[in-house]
Each structure stands twice: as structure tokens, then as C-alpha cells.
Structure 1
Amino acid sequence: MNNKINPIHQPLPLNPKPVTKNEAPTKSFKSFLEQASQDIKVSKHAQQRLNERSIQIDEQKWQQITSKMNEAKQKGVTDSVIVLRDAVLVASTKNNTIITAMDRNEAEDQLVTNVNGTIILQD
């Protein structure tokens, strides 16, 4: 009687799959993170307020807001008030999110707390 345990050998494939080089440039995780951090999110509450108060903000103004929020974020601002010609937005620069929106006339009688930065955008 033979008490040896013999290993089972797996045969190598005869035609190994060739490694193909991906021609499309791949974005790094860092670039995805930077892109995601630059996009502004509008909360459901803020979107509702924008609609209720008929506040219209064009694409160019959103780009300005995005730029200034990123600048404020780099300076350590976490929550800010953004003053526009016709509206006032309360934003979390830390999370790149617009929290709420008010008409400029309505905002004259409001008190905004827990804010450590103000962004004023003139046309």
C-alpha cells in the first residue's frame, strides 16, 4: 500500500489570452474626486424654494457660484451666505450643497446663523 499523497497538476492553457492595452485614457481617482468636489448640489429643499419664489439662476451664474464656493472652501469656509442681485443662497461649502434660497427682498428681514463666510456676487 502506497501512503503518498500526490499533487494534482493543472495544465497550462495552450493559447493564453493576450493582454490588450486600453487605448482610452483613464482618469485617476484624484481627477474623479476633484470633478465631484467641484459640482454643486442643490438640496431638495433649496430646489423647492427656488421654484416657489421663481428665482432663476443662469448657467454662467452657477459657474461663478461654483468657483467662489471652491475658493471659499480652500480658505476654510464651511458654511456661507451667497448674496446675488435677486437672491440669497445659504450653502454648505464643505459639502458643495445649496441648502436654501430666498428672494433678496425677503432676505432683508432674515437672520442667518452658523455661517462663517459670505460670498457677494455682483453682475
Structure 2
Amino acid sequence: MPYRITPINHHPIELLTNSKPKVTEKTSFKQIFQEIKNEHLKISKHAQERLSERKIDISTEQWNSIEEKVQEAHKKGVNDSLVLINDAALIISAKNNTVITAMNLDEAKSQIFTNINGTIIMD
């Protein structure tokens, strides 16, 4: 009796992640890997220092919401954005999926933000 391999209806990469990359017949492994890799925000060393110095705490739920909005903004052509949350302002490169810097809202009020092409206001 010959053994047969039963086809799997899922792409192998989908089994490793919670999200499902958009897979078409022409989708390359590099494209799928890039989509998975860019899913989570990275925090630059500078931003990590600022978050720590300024005692800015962002919950996992807030980070998840920020990630979703940054991805949405990137799809709309935003490369660098100002993200305003309840007690902080973050500058995030949507293109690189990286938090560049962070400050509390009191500091942000006296700043001029340049080189951003989008703003995300979170509840």
C-alpha cells in the first residue's frame, strides 16, 4: 500500500504565527518573512532609555493597539508618525517599525515635531 502525503490547507509559515500572511501563488518566502518580521514594533536604544528615564509605562494592550495603528498608517503611506497616548508621545518610524523616541505629554507640549507625515491619537 503506497503511503500518500495528505495536503495541508495552510501555508507552513501560518502554523508558526498567530497572524496569517497574505499568500498567493506568486508570493515569495522573502515577502512572507518580511510581513511576519515587521509585525512587532522594535524599540530603539534611545527610546528605551527615554521610556525608562521618564517612567513611561505602556501596557501590553496599549502596545498591541499602537502596533495595529502603525501598521494601518504605514499601509496608507505614513513613514514617520507622532503617536499620542494618554500620558506620552512617541515618534515611530512606520517604515522601519521602530519606536525612535518617547516623551511625556508635558515635554511634548513644548516641542516642535518635524519630519513626520502622520499622527496617531490613541484613546
TM-score, reference length from structure 1: 0.76
CA RMSD of aligned residues (A): 1.9
Give the Å deviation of 1:110.
0.5
Higher helix residue share = 2
The DSSP-based 3-state class of the residue aligned with 2:13 is coil
Q: Partner of 2:66 in structure 1?
A: 65
Q: Partner of 1:38 in structure 2?
A: 39
The DSSP-based 3-state class of the residue aligned with 1:38 is coil
Give the Å deviation of 1:39.
1.1
Give aligned-pair identity as a percent.
47
Amino acid at match of 1:106: E
Alpha-carbon distance in 2 for matches of 1:104, 1:63: 20
Q: Partner of 2:117 in structure 1?
A: 116
Does residue 93 (structure 1) correspond to residue 94 (structure 2)? The answer is: yes
Number of equivalences: 101
Runs (5+) with no aligned partner, structure 1: 1-20
Alpha-carbon distance in 2 for matches of 1:71, 1:26: 25
Q: Partner of 2:52 in structure 1?
A: 51
Q: Partner of 1:106 in structure 2?
A: 107
Give the Å deviation of 1:101.
0.1
Q: Partner of 2:13 in structure 1?
A: 27
Larger Rg belongs to: 1
Runs (5+) with no aligned partner, structure 2: 6-10, 15-28
Q: Partner of 2:17 in structure 1?
A: none
Deviation per CA, 1:38-89, whole angstroms, max 9, x where unpaired? 1100000000000000000000000000000000000000000000010000
Alpha-carbon distance in 2 for matches of 1:31, 1:94: 17
Give the Å deviation of 1:106.
1.0
Q: Partner of 1:14 in structure 2?
A: none
